[in-house]
Amino acid sequence: MKALSQKRRHPFAGVALLLLGLLITGGLYSAATTINEAQASENADAYSDPDNIEEGERLFVANCATCHGINAEGTDAGPSLIGVGAASVDFQVGTGRMPMQMQGPQAQQKPAQFNDEQTMQLAAYVASLGAGPAVPDDEYLDVDQGDPARGGELFRINCAMCHNAAAAGGALTEGKYAPSLHGVEPRHVYAAMTTGPQNMPVFSDANLVPEDKRDIIAFLQTYESQGTPGGFSLGFLGPVSEGLFIWTGGLALLIASMVWLTSRSS
């Protein structure tokens, strides 16, 4: 016992314990970082896979080159796609806006013509042509980690003037419009913020960091899940549609009452 006590009091015992603690902590941190990097790079690996890029090029030549050029350099019918990034393709193709059905003020959303794998392959090919916004990692699409209250504040400051405070969309100039955000997949909302499709401004990480974008998505998901507890949504247009509904209903009730009273008197 005396020998053990003397060893515990050794002047280097504290240093040894400190080094052991640092070694264990560093090992655990390294393991956790490796796991996170593997998960975060899962998407990146898919978009940099040569097989996906090759298949994406075939799809592009068959379906997109007519407007965007055989090498995606752009034509009179469509812009260059060099440098737009995978996120832009994922949004435009994943929401059915591309290929366009017809020329107009802006591309309209419609059922997607490519499945998720084909969309990913097209995005991988375009991403290989030049650096651009990438498809977001899953951690920035996890609304459970987001703050809906803060996201609502950010949405009202940055988005509500076009998309309506209820995210129901709104009219713009020259036949253009801000679409409704109800039912839009989180990754498409995120991609829209990073790429600025149509008339939408680009919200880069200098404007809204990835966590801010996640909070906005969390707000949209929370708001949509609440439904319309007050009754009819009336297009989520606020006092305008509500006032029109009340005025029309009240006028109809007044006319009906006058007709009923007239018929009784006769």
pLDDT at residue 106, as a whole number: 87
Q: What angle do CA 178, 184, 190 make, to 5 degrees?
A: 80
Which phi and psi (to 5°) does residue 48 adopt?
-105, 0
Whether 5 is covered by a domain: the verdict is no
159 and 127 both lie in a single domain? no
Which residues are CB-neighbours of 214 under 8 A, at least 6 positions away?
140, 141, 142, 143, 145, 146, 151, 190
What total number of domains does the chain contain? 2
64 marked among binding-site residues: yes
- The boundaries of the domain holding residue 95 are 44-134
10 marked among binding-site residues: no
Among 84, 104, 134, the domain boundary falls at 134
For residue 238, the one-letter residue type is G
Q: Has residue 213 got a pLDDT over 80?
A: yes
Question: What is the Cα–Cα distance from 217 to 219, expressed in whole angstroms?
Answer: 5
Whether 60 is covered by a domain: the verdict is yes
What confidence tens digit (pLDDT) does each residue in 156-181 have?
999 999 998 888 888 888 889 999 99
Closest to 218 measured CA to CA, from 120, 139, 152: 152
What confidence tens digit (pLDDT) does each residue in 217-250 have?
999 999 888 766 555 656 656 566 677 777 888 8
Among 108, 134, 160, the domain boundary falls at 134
182 marked among binding-site residues: no
188 marked among binding-site residues: no
67 marked among binding-site residues: yes
75 pairs with which residues across the strands? 78
Which residues are CB-neighbours of 218 under 8 A, at least 6 positions away?
143, 145, 146, 147, 148, 151
What percentage of residues in the chain have a pLDDT greater than 90? 48
163 and 92 both lie in a single domain? no
CATH number, domain containing residue 195: 1.10.760.10
85 and 106 both lie in a single domain? yes
143 and 219 both lie in a single domain? yes
210 and 167 both lie in a single domain? yes
What confidence tens digit (pLDDT) does each residue in 50-68 have?
999 999 999 999 999 999 9
